[in-house]
Structures are given as structure tokens and as C-alpha cells.
Amino acid sequence: MKEVSDLLGERYGIREKLAVHQVDAWEKVSNNFRVRFARKGVDFVYHLRKNIQKITIEPIQRANDAMAHLSLTGVKVPYRYIANLDGKSISEYNGSLWQLGEFIEGEHFSGSMEQLTCCAIEIAHMHTAFCSLRLKDPPPRISASFDNLSDIYDKVLQGDSSLKLKKELLAGEGLVRKALSEVLALQPEDEHQVQVVHGNLHPLNFIFDAKENSKLLAIIDFGDMYTGPLLQDIGNALHRLVRRSVE
């Protein structure tokens, strides 16, 4: 963890004794750390992200700008980046790009009906807020793989060749219908509308309160945003979330 302590000291002026823990060690594109330290009797806990994949500053800044916009419109996202000593929210250090920001303590989506409903409602709020997002450098456009609403459930069923899992998914059809109704009731009128979407709505990108596990704290990880139809994002989210709900 010497690299972490050196970075925080040199770029952020944080020289207190650190408690550093790597989280989500399985991530292929980034290293994520929970950093804790005390200053004048006050405890601070931050999320430090090291982008280990070859990436430029532009998509990171795009994600930062998007989260700032979503936060202002009341969407539950982490938005509190710490500026380095140069006043920048992104630090270049040892050939990698780093960010220091808010750490949200909680648990990932575990699959309950209550959590699924919370996710569906917040996805809808996020999509509505994205309608008013204006970026200097919009994300790339990707075509849809869901042509209509009925395709979503079919895609979920086709996601695994296991007959057992397919039977479980059939038993969970009510979850799909319930989540769809929650999302579509709050969406912009045209679900085929093309706009910026999250692009990576899977169970690990929803953080819930550890004590009140039906309370959604945040949607995270906006690094895969793209421009595409709302239906694509809805379909991908339900494909991932509903599978977790019935596994």
C-alpha cells in the first residue's frame, strides 16, 4: 500500500496514519481502496480509485460531470470528489489516473423484491435526469439489442442454458412484470428515446444500507455510459437484477 500512501501525501497532502483496505479486488479495470484516517479528532473515510486499464482523462471527467448533474437532480449517486493540491479531481500518478471521493458504506443488491423495486424506481429517476444532461463530449452511441418490451423477458430466459435456472426464472416472472411496471411508470414517454444511459446496471453497482437493506443508498460506476435507447438500459438492468433475484 506504499503507492497509496505516497500518492495521498504528495498529491492530496494527507500524511496522517492510514488504514487502507482494497475492495472489489476482482475488478479488471480499476483498483478500489477504502482509506480511513483521523485528523484533529475527526475520522475521514474515502474511496480511492486507481484506473489500471489504459484510459484517458476524458471519459473519467465525463462520468464525473454526469454524476454531478444527477446529484443536483436528486438521483442517489456518490458525488463528493476531493480536489488534489493542484485543484483537480483527477490525479496522474505513476502512469495511472486516480480519484479520491466519497466512500459509501453498504451492501450490494442481494435480490429481494423490495430491493428490486427500489432499483427500478431509481433507474427511472436516473433516466429522467439524464434527459436534461448536456455534455461537451457525449459518450459513444451503441445500438440496441432489445427491440420491444416483450424481448426483455425473452432475453432473461435465454441468458442461461441451465434448465433448472430457466424454471426458476419462469417462477420469477412476476418479479419482471412488477419491476417493468415500476420503471415504465416513471420513464420519459418514449422508451425508445435515444439519450445517455448508465450502461452497466448490474447487482454490484447498487449499494444498499447494511442495517436497512431495502434502503437504496446509491447507484455507482458511471464509467461505461453510452448513448442509446432507454429500453437497452432497462433490459440490461432487468436481465442482471432479476437473475440475481431468482438464483
Name the percent of the chain lying above pLDDT 90: 40
Non-local (6+) Cβ contacts of 203 within 8 A are 108, 109, 110, 111, 240, 241, 244
First to last CA, the chain: 37
Question: What value does the mean pLDDT take over residues 154-165?
Answer: 49
Amino acid at 22: Q
pLDDT class of 171 with cuts at 50, 70, 90: very low
Work out the pLDDT band at 146, boundaries 50, 70, 90.
Answer: low
In sequence order, the 6+-apart residues with CB closer than 8 A to the CB of 154 are none
Reading the block at residue 99, the C-alpha cell is 480519484
Residue 67's pLDDT is: 94
- What SS3 state is found at 160? coil
Torsion-angle region of residue 120: left (phi > 0), alpha (psi -120 to 50) or beta?
alpha
**pLDDT at site 23:** 85
Assigned C-alpha cell, 78: 456518490
**Can you tell me the mean pLDDT for 208-224?**
92
Q: Give yes or no for residue 182 having a pLDDT over 50.
A: yes
pLDDT at 246 over 80: no
Burial (Cβ within 10 Å: 0-12, 13-18, ≥19) of residue 133: middle
Mean pLDDT of 226-243: 78
- For residue range 56-108, what is the model confidence (pLDDT) as tens digits? 888 889 999 999 999 999 999 987 789 999 999 999 999 999 999 989 999 99
Placement of cell 419491476 in the chain? 179
Distance CA 199, CA 133 (A): 15
Q: How confident is the model at residue 229 (pLDDT cuts 50, 70, 90)?
A: confident
- Pinpoint the alpha helices (H) of the chain: 2-12, 57-72, 113-130, 149-158, 163-171, 173-186, 230-246
Q: How confident is the model at residue 164 (pLDDT cuts 50, 70, 90)?
A: very low
What pLDDT does 172 receive? Answer: 47
Greater model confidence, 181 or 224:
224
134-137 long-range Cβ contacts below 8 angstroms, 24+ apart:
135/62, 135/65, 135/66, 135/196, 137/58, 137/61, 137/62
Confidence label for 188 from pLDDT (cuts 50, 70 and 90): low
**Residues 46, 223, 246, 129: is their CA dihedral positive or negative?**
positive
Mean pLDDT in the chain? Answer: 80
Question: Is residue 162 scored above 70 in pLDDT?
Answer: no
% of the chain exceeding 70 in pLDDT = 76
The larger pLDDT score, comparing residue 55 to residue 18, is at 18
Is 32 a residue whose pLDDT tops 50?
yes
Task: Kindly tell me if the per-residue pLDDT of 219 is higher than 80.
Answer: yes
